[in-house]
Each structure stands twice: as structure tokens, then as C-alpha cells.
Structure 1
Amino acid sequence: MNQDYIKPDNWSIIEEGFDVERVKSSESLFSIGNGAMGQRANFEEMYSGQTFQGSYIAGVYYPDKTRVGWWKNGYPEYFAKVLNAPNWIGINVKINGEELNLHTCTAVKDFRRELNMKEGWYQRSFTAILKNEIEVKVKSTRFLSLDLDEVGVIKYEVTPVNQDANIVFTSYLDSGITNEDSNWDDKFWDTYDVAHKEHSAYILSKTMKTEFHVCTGMLNQIFLDDTAEEILPVVDSNETFVGLSYEVNAPKNTTASLVKYAGYTVSLNHKKEDLASASKTVLKQASESGFDSLLDLQKKAWSRIWEMADIVIEGDVKAQQGIRFNIFQLNQTYLGKDARLNIGPKGFTGEKYGGSTYWDTEAYCIPFYMATKDQHVARSLLTYRYNHLEKAIENAKKLGFDNGAALYPMVTMNGEECHNEWEITFEEIHRNGAMTFAIYNYVRYTGDYNYIPEKGLEVMIGIARFWHQRATFSTDKNKYVILGVTGPNEYENNINNNWYTNYLAKWCIEYCVEHLKKVEEEYASDHKRIIEKTKLTQKEVEEMLVVAEKMYFPYSEKHQVYLQQDGFLDKELITVSNLDASQRPINQKWSWDRILRSPYIKQADTLQGFYMFEDHFTKEELERHFDFYEPFTVHESSLSPCVHSIQAASLDRMEQAYTFYLRTSRLDLDDYNKEVEEGLHITSMAGTWMSIVEGFGGLRIKNDTLFFTPRIPKEWKGYSFNVNFRNQILKVNVSQEGTSFNLEGDQELLIVVDNKEVKITPNHLVTV
């Protein structure tokens, strides 16, 4: 059974009723972020039940030494931990001497949480009866400012219901925090200063090894009803903690509230000696604006994001809530303001997977950011990889490759590989191909060819060199083979000739050589610079092309399909429909040995290739491969349902496409994989957007032209989305009756709808 406690709503995530079993899941689902920092939806007040405390700062990490039974040459030295940062949300509350703690209260009534995605705030409210029989209403509203992205704000309100109350708020900062997933229980943070003055306090700390310096600061205001109270705090501090306690006497039915402005200033953006003063300045600015005015700015900032990014679905609230949740979380994680940052698979919602960057960014996220933001945001994501090229060459060198061959990491913070499962670190090399595919995808979408001579070609050469060296000539087959790999299906390790990996390798080499020629002809000075820098010879280019031309692809004449890998037909081919439901998810029920011998596929593998290179194959070939592989797919990767949804739509199997869409859009909300308490699946959320735009909308780019094949699930009355194509915004509205297009721009746009050319003029509605 999937969880289903989240109330269906078009614009909000809502939970009603307090259940200790749901606390950790809700901490993930109600997470907030602003691109620079984020946090799980932990309670501000003391909570003695099961909880997973988490606050995170973009770009701040710790290199946790790899833990393995024995060392293997080329093994990453560390696993990059996304760091649990000093906690600034804490507000402990005592009422008539009794601690407010939802785990120990006599009763909790009317408990409600809401994450308002339209306006970018999170609120929790409840009525509690404490052991001393006092009854209080509590409401807490919190947001992380998009305008002042070093600041978060909390308004914490307590109203005594049945008697007058003496209320003590203790607003605190705490740097004595740990990660849930440390390899060696290392200390990640060193605190070197704790200070306070009047209603403000700060803690200066730095990460061990990586030396990121952080100032965690706060500034408090106290109100009785809406009147500001001047109450001097009582201070409690030690070497990693500072708390300011305010005592307020609140008559029955009056509201005492604490407004807390807090957050981080970081040495990534300030000199370390200026961190405390920078914190003081930004918190003063926030407090002078005040809670209401900052909230107003927040609503406006989110309104601007939604104007471009929103997808509207009519007639299906759960589907609507799902897509907006995905778009909201993607924007909370990454806004494209800082080219040093990237999109971590858990964003700011948990610690699992470590690292800030996987191949998910190139394969899934770039299309979302290209279409819903400015092309510079996507260019920043590509530049991030260009800036890590030297590290990718180093990574390849550690594995025995030379001559500038580049292997991009599976997981990274700074370009170094830091994933510590050998079958992925050494073998899941298909990730390298996603880097070249992202460049191709970016150029065909934006028309910004200049990226290739400026930066892209160097990356493509390093990757082509890797594939050239990684392939082995088989005299038996008279072909080049690629041995000992893991494809996108991580339920097969150390297999030979994963079709998707081999196909990518061939394509990467050919695409690189094609653009070497184009750059030589059209950008001679860039070509000269690149050849001098990379020392690429004509002989090497010719040898690469031989590898591409003679690449081996396993194929079954019997089934008329490319085989996922050499030994796929040796497996006991029992489809998922014949697998006992009690055995699912297999990654939580089976031994790894059993999984590896099974035919079960974690996510699109061969079909990933058919998704990326759709134009290389006929519809009939896609259908054959889909019908062969999907029945063995358990979809236990968050990246799986979206690709299958797009392909089912392409095959006009709308019922299947819709089922997959619901699964990808509500993967976390309904906790399909029974793991949401560890954090959300941020990068796969971009796949949800693709399921609508590329799946149901049928958006493709061919020959500098937008193509659409609009389809609509029978459950929907209509849906609409926006696409920023080459600095003109095309609004697409699909209903059961037809499709309309509206262009915001200054030039005519020729598009193709259901294989017919349609001319769209700016600000003129065209219905097809």
C-alpha cells in the first residue's frame, strides 16, 4: 500500500491529524529551500520522538573517508557528504513551567501542516493539552527568502486557551550537530566562536578538511497580540550553543509570538573575517522589513517563477498537485543563480547519496531548466562540467587511462569522483555519455552553437578519447566490445556489452568528430586553440572512428530486439506481473545476489537509449523493445516511470502513459518506494515535467523547429505548459477538443503539429 495521507489540493501539500509514524516522512515532504540553503520540516520546539534533523547549505560538504573492506586501486578516497549544517530553527517553549513537546503532550488536536507552493511558505498549527492541563493553540509559519537568500524567517505563535499562561520562548542556534550517515563518526564541524548581543546571536564554525567557514546568525522579536514587547532575554550558551530566552505573560486568548530572522553567511560568498558582520547586516535588513513585508516579497518572487514554470492540469487534482510539487521542489533546489552549484539528487531534503551532482542533471534536469528559465541557466550547468574537465581527466588517469581521456564522476562536489560503491564508481560509465548528450541537447534546443567551440568540444574530445580507450577489440567477434560495466539498470553489475553504453560510446565518438570538422571549417582560431591544447592528432581521430564503426551490439534474432547485455537471455525470464507482490520492492526484500541473477530492471536501460536517440529508430522498433523490456521493469528507481511514460505516450498507449505519469509525479507524495523519510527524489522530478511536455505534449526539436504531437489522458479536461524557445515564450494549451498556441515574442515562429506546419505570430492565438 502506498501512503495517502496528503490531502489532494491544487496548490498546497496538506497533512491533517498528528501521527508519530508520519513525522519523518512529512519532514521530507514539507521541506523548504531557496537555492542557497534548505531544511527538512523539523519542528521548531523540542520533540523527543523519532525525527531526522536536517539543515543544508548549497556547496558546503565534507569528504568522509571511504569505508571499504580492502582498498582497490583507483578507488575514490572519500564520499562527499552533504552536510547537516548548524541548526537555526530551534525555538523551545515552556508554558507554566511545562515543556511543549508533541511526543509527551496529553492530547494533540487539530494538527495541520501546509506547504503553500504558490506563495513559498510552510505552516504548522495545532492545539495541545500539556501534562499540567493547560491548553494552547500553536501556529508556526516559516519560509526561506528568495530575495534575501541568506535569510529564513519563522513566526511562532502561542495562544493560551483555558487559562492565563507564563510562556518562555528559548530561541537558539546549535552547531553541535551530526550527520545521520557518517562513515567513521568523524566530527564534521569545528565551532570557534559563539557570541550574542541584545536580541542577536551568532555561531562561527568551519567544516573540517574542506574549511568552509559559516556564520549561523539569528535576530529575535517578541510580540503580544500585534504589539512589539521589549523584553530582555536570558542568555544560555556553551561552546556549540547559544539560546536567548524570553519570558512573556499571556492572558487567556491573547497570542504571544516570537519572530525569528536567521540563516547562514558562507565563505563561498564572503571573506571569512567578514562573515559575522555580513550576517548582522542581512538580519538587520530582514528585521527592518518585517515578517509581513518579507512574506509579501516571497509571494511575488514565487509568482514570477510560476508564471513561466507552471503546468496547469484541469479535472485531476492529484495529477495537478503532483506536477506542481515537482516543479516547486526543483526551483527550491536550484535557481541557476550560481554556476558553482548543481542539482543534488536529494536537494535540501536529506543526506542520502551524498554529492551534489549525478548524471541526472545532464539527462533529466537540463531540459526542464532550458524550457522554464533563460538559456543561461542551462549553459551554467554545462559550464559546471567544463570547469571540472581537468578533474575528469584525473579521474580517468586513476583508472589507467591516458592522453587526456576524461571520465566524469558518478557523484561529485568538485569534479573528483566520490562515490564509494565499486560497481558504480568503476562500471557505471554510461554517465560519461550523458555529458556529450547534454551539449547536443542544449545546442539543438537553444541554437547557441558557440558553446561548442568555446567549451563543449574540449569536453567531447576527452569523452571520445575515453570511449576509444575503454573499448576492447574482440578477435572472436571482429568487433569492439565494452566489458565489465553497469548500465542504467543497477540490478546488473559487471556485465559485458550493455547495449545502451555501447550505443552511447559509438554516438559520442561520431558526434565529436562531426563537430571537430564543423569547428575547423567555421571557427578556425578556436579549432587551432583546441588542437594545441588537447594535442589531438588526425591518426587518433581515425582510430576513434574505427572503434565507432566496428562497435558490437548484442541482438536477439528470435525476439528481434537489441539485448540489454550479452547474457540477458540466460536469465529466468519471469515477468513482473508473475512476481508475488509480497516480494516488492525487491531491493528491500531480496539479497543482492538474487537481484543480480534476476531479469528485473530497475529503470529504463535499453529504453533509455530509445528515449535519447528516438530519431535513430522506427516506431515499430520502439514498440518491440518497449513490449519486451517494460514487463521486466520493477521501476524501483525514481528515474524510471518518466521515460516509460514518455514512450507509452509516443506509442499512443495513453492509459499506460497516465499510470506512469501519476507514479512519477506522486513518487514521493504517495511514497511508492517506501523511502521518502530519507528525503525527496529531486532530479527525477524534472522527468515528471518531461512526462507532460515531451510525453503528452509530444514536444521534440528537429532541424531548429519545435514539433508537437499533443495527446491527452481521458482523465483530464485539459492541460497547459510554457516553453521558452530561443528567447520567445510559447504557451501551449491542450484540451479534449484541440490544441491552441500563443506566442510571447517579437518574431513569427514556424512549428509542426501532428506533421503539419503551423505559423504562429506573436500575441495571436492559433488553435489546431
Structure 2
Amino acid sequence: MNQDYIQSNPWSIIEEGFDKERVKSSESLFSIGNGAMGQRANFEESYSGATFQGSYIAGVYYPDKTRVGWWKNGYPEYFAKVLNAPNWIGINVTINGELLDLATCTNIKDFKRELNMKEGWYRRNFVATTPNNIEIEVIATRFLSLAHDEVGAIRFEVTPLNSDAEISFNPYIDAGITNEDSNWDDKFWNTTKITSNNNRAFIESHTMKTNFNVCTFMQAQLEHGNKVTTSPSSEIKKELSIGFEFSQSAKKGEKVSLVKYGGYTVDRNHDADQLVKAANSVLDQASLLGFDGLLDEQKKAWDQVWEMSDITIEGDVKAQQGIRFNIFQLNQTYTGTDSRLNIGPKGFTGEKYGGSTYWDTEAYCLPFYMATKNQEVARKLLKYRYNHLEKAIENAEKLGFKNGAALYPMVTMNGEECHNEWEITFEEIHRNGAIAYAIYNYTRYTQDYSYVPEMGLEVLIGIARFWQQRINWSTHQNKYVMLGVTGPNEYENNVHNNWYTNYIAKWCLEYALEQLEQVQQNFPADYKRIIEKTKLTNEETGLWKKVAAHMYFPYSKEHGVYLQQDGFLDKDLVPVAELDKQERPINQHWSWDRILRSPYIKQADTLQGFYFFEDHFTEEELEKHFDFYEPFTVHESSLSPCVHSVQAAKLNRMEQAYTFYLRTSRLDLDDYNKEVEEGLHITSMAGTWMSIIEGFGGMRIKDGKLCFSPKIPEQWDMYSFKINFRNRIIKVTVTQNGTTFNIDEGDSLEVLVNDTPISISH
């Protein structure tokens, strides 16, 4: 049974009614961010119930020493993880001396949370009775500014309802925080200085080992009637925190509000000794605009985001809410303004996966940012990998590879591998292919070839060298084979000849050879520079050709399909439909040994190859492979339903495509995998976007041309989306009666619609 407490609404995520059992889940679902920082939807006031405190700063991490029972040569020494940052949202509230705490309050009613995605703010309101029998109404509104990304704002309003009351606010900042996922309970932060100035407070601290310097800051003021109080009655300073006290007598029915600004200045953007000065400058700006002024700017900034990235759906509110939630969280996580940053699978919503970068960025996120931003944003994601090429070469060297072979990390913050499960660290090497595919995908979509001679060719050479060294010649098969790998399906480890890995390796070698030829012909100076730098020889490239031409692919003549890997048919091939529903998800009910011996597929594996390289195969081949593999797929990876939705739509199986779409778009809202309290699945949200644009919209690039084959689920009356394609903003509107195309910005363009050329213009 999936959770179903989120109200259906096209523009907001709404929870009604207070339930202690779902506090942690809601903390994830109502998370907010602005690309530079983010936070879970923790209560501002004290809460003694179960909670998962989390505030995070983009690019600030700690190398937590690896903890494994048995060390293996080649293991990374640490797992880099995004840190739970000092908390700036805290506001202790007392009513006639009694601490406000929803865990101890009685008669909690009218409890409501709303995450307004259209305008970019989060609000919580409730009526509750404190243990000393004062009934109060609370309205707390919070947002992280897109326009001023170092600051967030809170307005916390309290109204006594059944009697007069003395209301005290204690706004504070606190550096005494920990990570829930710490390996050794290390001290991650060292607090060096705590200072205050009137109604402002500052905590200066730095991370241990990585030495990121951060100033956590706040400013607070009390509002009552037309009166604003900026001078607190007292200061409360402790070893790791600092706060103020504001008190106000309120008559029954009178509202008292605390407005608080807070955030972080970081030495990634300022001189380390100027962080307090920078914080003061941020607070000066916030004070000048005021809460309402900042909120107006927030609404305008989000309006601009939605103008380009919105997908509208008519006739299906749950589907509409799902896609907007995905688009909203993607834009909260990564704005594309900083090429030093990337996209973590949990974004700013939790600590799982360490907030690090995976292959998800290249395989799933790049198309979203490429089509909804300008191409510079996507180029920055590619530049991020080029900047880490030397580290990728070091990662390969640690595993015994030579001569500039590059193995990009499965998990990283700074380019170094920091994942320490052997079956993933050493064997899930298909991630290298996703990096190369992203270069191909970017140049195909944008026609900006400049990335390849400037940066990309060096990346492709390093990747090709890795594949050439990773294969073995099999005299038995008379082919090159790939032993001991883990494909995208992590429910089978240490297999031989995973078809997807072998196929993408062959493609990478061929693509690298093609790009060498292109750069030699068209960019001779860059070619000369790159050959001299990499010391690439004709003997080497000749070997690449040989390996690509003689790669082994497991195949079943009986079934007429490529096999996911050697031995797949030796498994007990019982379809997922015949599993006991009480044992799902299997990753929470079965032993790992049982899972590894089963035929069950966590996410698209062979079908991932058919998704990437669709034009290499006929539709009949796709159908045959889809019909063979999907019945064994448990979709227990967040990255699974979107690929299957795209392929089901391609095969005109619209009911199945719609079911997969709904699952991917509402994965977190409905908590399909029963783990949302750990954080949201940010990178798979880009896959949700793909399931509409590439699935239902049928968007492809073929022979350099933009193509569509639009379809519409019967549950929808209409859907529309925009894409930025080579500096043209194209709007596509699909109804049950047909499709219209318009260019909102840029020159006219010829596109193919169901293989028929049409010209579109303003």
C-alpha cells in the first residue's frame, strides 16, 4: 500500500492533519532549495518527536573514512559526503513559559503544510493547545531565495486564541549538528568563532580535513501590530550556538510575528577572512527588501523558471502535480550557474548516497537541463567531468590500469572515487559509457561541436583506453569478452559479458575513433595538441578498432534476444507477476544471496542499451526485448519506470506507458519504494521529464533534425511543453485531436512529425 496523504493539486504539495508517523516523510517531500543550499522541511520550533534534521550547502563536503569489514586493494579511503550544515532555521517559542512542541501539544487541529511550487515557498499552519492550556494558531512561512542564493527567510506568526499570553521567541543558529550517516561519528565541523551585533549573529566554522570555511548567519526582528522590534531583550550564547530572546504580551486574538533571515557565506565564493562581512552585506540587502519584498522577487524568479520548464497536463491532476513536483525539485537542486557543482541523487533532501555525483547526471539529467535551460548549463555539466579527467585517470591507476586509461568514479565529489562496495566500485564500470554518451548527446542536440576539440576528445581517449585494457581475448569464444562486471541491474553482481556494458564499450571505442578523425580534419591545431598531450599512437587506435570489431555479445537463438549476461537463462525464470506481493519490494524482504540468484531486474539493463541506441535496432527487436525483460523487472530503482515508459510509448502501449509515467512522477509523493523519509530521488525526476518529452512527445534527433511522434494517454485531454533547441524556444501542444507546434522565440525551423517534414514559425 502506497502512502496517499498528499492532496491532489496542480501547483502545490499539500498535507492536511498532523500525524507523528509521517513527519520524516514530509520533511523530505516539503524540502526547499535554491541551487546553493537546501534544507529538509524541519519544524522551526522545538520538536521532541522523531525527526531527521538536515540543512545542506552545495559543494561543501567531508571525506568520511571508509568503514568496511574486509579491506581490498583499490578501495577508496573515504566516502565523500555532503554535510549536515549548521542549522539557521531554529526558533524556540514559549507561551506563558511553556515550550511549544507539537509532540507535547494536545488538540492539534487545522494542521496543514503547503509547498507552493509556482511561487517557491513553504508554509505550515496549525491550531494547538499547549500543556498549560493556551490555544494558539501558528503560521510559519519559509523560502530560500533564488534571486539572492545565500539567504533564506522565515515569518513565524503566533496568535493566542483563548486568552492573553506572553509569547517569547528564541531565534538561534546552531553548529552542534551531526550527520545521521556518519561512519565513525567523526567531528565534521570545527567552530572557531561566535559573534553578534545588535539583532544579527554569526557562527564561523570550517569542515575538518576539507577545510571549507563557512559563516552561518541570522538576523531577527519582532513584529506586533505596526511595531517592529529589532533589539532583543537578551542574548543566549552557548559553546556551539547563539540566539536572542524577544518577548511580547499579546491579547487574545492578537498576532505576534518573528521575521528571521539566515543562510551561509562560504569561502568557495568569498575570501575566507571576509565571510562575516559578506554575511552582513547579504543581511543588509535582505533587510532593505524586507520579507515581502524578498518573497515578491521569489515569485518572479520562479515565474521565469516555469515559463520555460513547465509541462501542463489537462484532465489528470495527479499526473500534473507529479511532473511539476519533479521539475520543481530539479530546479531547486541545480540552477546551472556554477560548473563546480553537480546533481546528487538526493539533492538537498537527505544524506543517502552522500549527496555525491553518479552516472545519473549524464544518463538522465543532461537532457532536461539541455532542453529547459540554455546550452551553456548542459556544457557546464560536461565541463565538470573534463575538470575531473586527471582524477579519473588516477582512479584507473589505483585498479592497475595504465597509459592514461580513465575510469570515472561511481560516486564522487571532487573526481576521486569514494564508493566502497567492490561489486560497484570495481565492477559497475558502465558509468564510463554514460560520460561518453553525454558528449554525443550534447553535440547531437546542440550542434555545438566546440566541446569536443576543447575538452571532450581527451575524455573520450581516456575512456577508450580503459575499455581496451578492461577486455580479455577469449580463445573459446574467439571474441573479446568482459569479465567480472555489474551492469545497471545491481541485483546481479560479478557477471560475465553484461550485454549493455559490452555494447556501450564497443560504441565508446567507435565513437572515440570517429571524433579523432573529425578533430584531425576540422581542428588540426587541437588535434596536434591532444595527440602530443595524450601520446596516442596509431598502434593504440588500431587495437581499439580490433576490439570494437570483435566484441562478444551473449545471444539466445531460442528467444531471439541478446542475453543480459552469460548464464541468464540458467536462472529460475518466474515472472514478477507471480511473486507474493507481501515480499515486495524484494530488497527489503529477501537476502542478498537470494536476490543475486534470481532473474529479477532492478532497472533497465539490456533495455537501457535499447534506450540509448534506439536507432541501432528495429522496432521489432525493441518489442521482442521489451517483452522478454520487462516481466522480470521489479522497478525497485528510481531510474527504472521512466526508461520503460519511453519504450512502452514507442511501442504504442499507451496504458503501460501511462502506468510507468505515473509511477516515476509520483515515486516520492506516493512513496512507492517505502523510503521517502531518507530523501527524494532527484536524478530520476529528470527521467520523469523524459517520459513525457521523449515518451509521449516522441522527441528524437535524427540525422541532425528534430523529430516528434506525439501520442497522448487517454486519461489526458491535453499536454504541452517547451524545449530550447538550438536557440529556438519551441512549444508543443498535444490534444486528443492533434498536435500543434509554435516557435515562441528564434528563427523558423523544419521538423519531422511522424516522419513528415513540417515548417514551424511564430
Which TM-score tier does this pair reach, normalised by the shorter chain? over 0.9
Judge conservation of contact 1:355–1:411 (CA < 8 Å) in 2: no
Deviation at 1:285, TM superposition (A): 1.1
State how far apart, in whole Å, the 2-side matches of 1:545 and 1:699 are.
32
- Name the residue aligned to 2:530: 530
- Name the residue aligned to 1:580: 580
State how far apart, in whole Å, the 2-side matches of 1:549 and 1:26 are.
52
- Name the residue aligned to 1:243: 243
- Name the residue aligned to 1:390: 390
State how far apart, in whole Å, the 2-side matches of 1:528 and 1:320 are.
52
- Name the residue aligned to 1:120: 120
Deviation at 1:221, TM superposition (A): 1.1
Judge conservation of contact 2:423–2:494 (CA < 8 Å) in 1: yes
- Name the residue aligned to 2:498: 498
1:68 matched to 2:82: no
- Name the residue aligned to 1:258: 258
Output the amino acid matched with 2:520.
E
SS state of the match for residue 313, structure 1? strand
Deviation at 1:517, TM superposition (A): 0.7
Aligned Cα root-mean-square deviation (Å): 0.7
- Name the residue aligned to 1:111: 111
- Name the residue aligned to 2:655: 655
Deviation at 1:230, TM superposition (A): 4.8
Deviation at 1:280, TM superposition (A): 1.1
Deviation at 1:744, TM superposition (A): 2.3
Judge conservation of contact 2:220–2:258 (CA < 8 Å) in 1: yes
Judge conservation of contact 2:221–2:231 (CA < 8 Å) in 1: no
- Name the residue aligned to 2:194: 194
Judge conservation of contact 2:118–2:302 (CA < 8 Å) in 1: yes
Deviation at 1:287, TM superposition (A): 1.3
Unmatched 5+ stretches in structure 2 = none
Deviation at 1:70, TM superposition (A): 2.1
Deviation at 1:233, TM superposition (A): 3.0
- Name the residue aligned to 1:160: 160
State how far apart, in whole Å, the 2-side matches of 1:558 and 1:428 are.
29
SS state of the match for residue 615, structure 1? helix
1:687 matched to 2:687: yes
State how far apart, in whole Å, the 1-side matches of 2:82 and 2:633 are.
31
Instruction: Kindly provide the CA deviation profile for residues 31-62 of structure 1, in whole angstroms up to 9, marking residues without a partner as x.
Output: 00000000000000000000000000000000
- Name the residue aligned to 2:50: 50
SS state of the match for residue 427, structure 1? coil
Judge conservation of contact 2:519–2:526 (CA < 8 Å) in 1: yes
Of the structure 1 ranges 520-529 and 227-236, higher mean CA displacement relative to structure 2 is found in 227-236
State how far apart, in whole Å, the 2-side matches of 1:483 and 1:248 are.
71
Deviation at 1:263, TM superposition (A): 0.2
- Name the residue aligned to 2:338: 338
- Name the residue aligned to 2:468: 468
Question: Cα–Cα, structure 1 residues 492 and 226, in superposed 2: closer, same or farther, change >3 Å?
Answer: farther
State how far apart, in whole Å, the 1-side matches of 2:137 and 2:214 are.
35
Judge conservation of contact 2:729–2:746 (CA < 8 Å) in 1: no
Deviation at 1:229, TM superposition (A): 2.8
For 1:92-241, list aligned pairs within 5 A: 92-241=92-241
Instruction: Kindly provide the CA deviation profile for residues 20-39 of structure 1, in whole angstroms up to 9, marking residues without a partner as x.
Output: 00100000000000000000
Output the amino acid matched with 1:372.
T
Matched residues, number: 762
- Name the residue aligned to 1:329: 329
Judge conservation of contact 1:59–1:356 (CA < 8 Å) in 2: no
- Name the residue aligned to 1:722: 722
Instruction: Kindly provide the CA deviation profile for residues 648-690 of structure 1, in whole angstroms up to 9, marking residues without a partner as x.
Output: 0000000000000000000000000000000000000000000
- Name the residue aligned to 2:623: 623
Output the amino acid matched with 1:696.
F
State how far apart, in whole Å, the 2-side matches of 1:576 and 1:94 are.
54
SS state of the match for residue 353, structure 2? coil
Judge conservation of contact 1:429–1:486 (CA < 8 Å) in 2: yes
- Name the residue aligned to 1:507: 507
State how far apart, in whole Å, the 2-side matches of 1:402 and 1:355 are.
30
Output the amino acid matched with 1:154.
I
Output the amino acid matched with 1:246.
F
State how far apart, in whole Å, the 2-side matches of 1:180 and 1:355 are.
13
Deviation at 1:321, TM superposition (A): 0.1
Of the structure 1 ranges 462-471 and 238-247, higher mean CA displacement relative to structure 2 is found in 238-247
TM-score (norm 2): 1.00
State how far apart, in whole Å, the 2-side matches of 1:629 and 1:169 are.
59
SS state of the match for residue 206, structure 1? strand
- Name the residue aligned to 2:77: 77
Judge conservation of contact 1:86–1:173 (CA < 8 Å) in 2: yes
SS state of the match for residue 7, structure 2? coil
SS state of the match for residue 352, structure 2? coil
Judge conservation of contact 2:81–2:356 (CA < 8 Å) in 1: no
Instruction: Kindly provide the CA deviation profile for residues 409-448 of structure 1, in whole angstroms up to 9, marking residues without a partner as x.
Output: 0000000000121110000000000000000000000000
State how far apart, in whole Å, the 1-side matches of 2:439 and 2:103 are.
51
Instruction: Kindly provide the CA deviation profile for residues 158-200 of structure 1, in whole angstroms up to 9, marking residues without a partner as x.
Output: 0000111101100000001000010011110000101112111
Question: Cα–Cα, structure 1 residues 226 and 587, in superposed 2: closer, same or farther, change >3 Å?
Answer: farther
Deviation at 1:226, TM superposition (A): 4.2
Output the amino acid matched with 1:388.
H
1:443 matched to 2:443: yes
For 1:26-41, list aligned pairs within 5 A: 26-41=26-41
Judge conservation of contact 1:224–1:255 (CA < 8 Å) in 2: yes
1:373 matched to 2:373: yes
Output the amino acid matched with 2:408.
Y
State how far apart, in whole Å, the 2-side matches of 1:87 and 1:232 are.
20
Output the amino acid matched with 2:644.
H
- Name the residue aligned to 1:17: 17
State how far apart, in whole Å, the 1-side matches of 2:537 and 2:134 are.
81
- Name the residue aligned to 1:703: 703
Output the amino acid matched with 2:189.
W
Deviation at 1:356, TM superposition (A): 2.3
State how far apart, in whole Å, the 2-side matches of 1:586 and 1:468 are.
36
1:667 matched to 2:667: yes
Deviation at 1:225, TM superposition (A): 2.9
Deviation at 1:316, TM superposition (A): 0.2
State how far apart, in whole Å, the 2-side matches of 1:137 and 1:415 are.
49
Unmatched 5+ stretches in structure 1 = 764-768
Question: Cα–Cα, structure 1 residues 355 and 117, in superposed 2: closer, same or farther, change >3 Å?
Answer: closer
Deviation at 1:337, TM superposition (A): 0.4
Judge conservation of contact 1:45–1:90 (CA < 8 Å) in 2: yes
For 1:406-425, list aligned pairs within 5 A: 406-425=406-425
Residue identity over aligned pairs, in percent, reads: 72
- Name the residue aligned to 1:358: 358
Judge conservation of contact 1:499–1:565 (CA < 8 Å) in 2: yes
Judge conservation of contact 2:146–2:301 (CA < 8 Å) in 1: yes
Deviation at 1:81, TM superposition (A): 1.4
Deviation at 1:745, TM superposition (A): 3.1
Output the amino acid matched with 1:344.
G
Judge conservation of contact 1:315–1:717 (CA < 8 Å) in 2: yes
Output the amino acid matched with 1:703.
D
SS state of the match for residue 185, structure 1? coil
For 1:541-580, list aligned pairs within 5 A: 541-580=541-580
Question: Cα–Cα, structure 1 residues 230 and 75, in superposed 2: closer, same or farther, change >3 Å?
Answer: closer
Deviation at 1:355, TM superposition (A): 4.2
Judge conservation of contact 2:346–2:355 (CA < 8 Å) in 1: no
